[in-house]
Amino acid sequence: MASINLNKMSLKDLLALQEDLEQAIANAQLREKQEVLSQMEALAQERGFSMNELITPRGRGKGKGSVSAAKYANPDNRAETWTGRGRKPNWLVDKLKKGAKIDDFAI
């Protein structure tokens, strides 16, 4: 590889060299990716798989979590319920401050 004396280059030449380097790096990365992909496809085929079988994401993904059944209800308004998960609702906090026990509200 030829040695380049960068200290003797003008700003214009250095910027042009930088552009050339960035393009060369991008091209080299693309070649590397294509080579790795080809190797992966060959290995998958050799083992009896398609790339889609190996790359397709598994699991539930980013769907909503499960809905839990209510475990506690406000005796003054049965429509106000709590599953026992997360922050306690205000109606329950108020009743607990007044001396009630959480089991008093179990459904």
Query: Tell me, what's the pLDDT at 60?
Result: 62
Residue 45: pLDDT over 80: yes
Judge if pTM exceeds 0.75. no
Query: Tell me, what's the pLDDT at 80?
Result: 92
Query: Tell me, what's the pLDDT at 94?
Result: 93
Pairing between strand 77-82 and 72-74? antiparallel
CA 16 from chain center: how many Å?
Answer: 38
Residue 53: pLDDT over 90: no
Coil, strand or helix at 28: helix
Are 74 and 91 a contacting pair, CB within 8 Å?
yes
Q: Where along the chain do its domains lie?
A: 10-55, 72-105
Mind giving me the DSSP string for 44-74?
Answer: HHHTT--HHHHHS--S--S---PPPPP-EEE
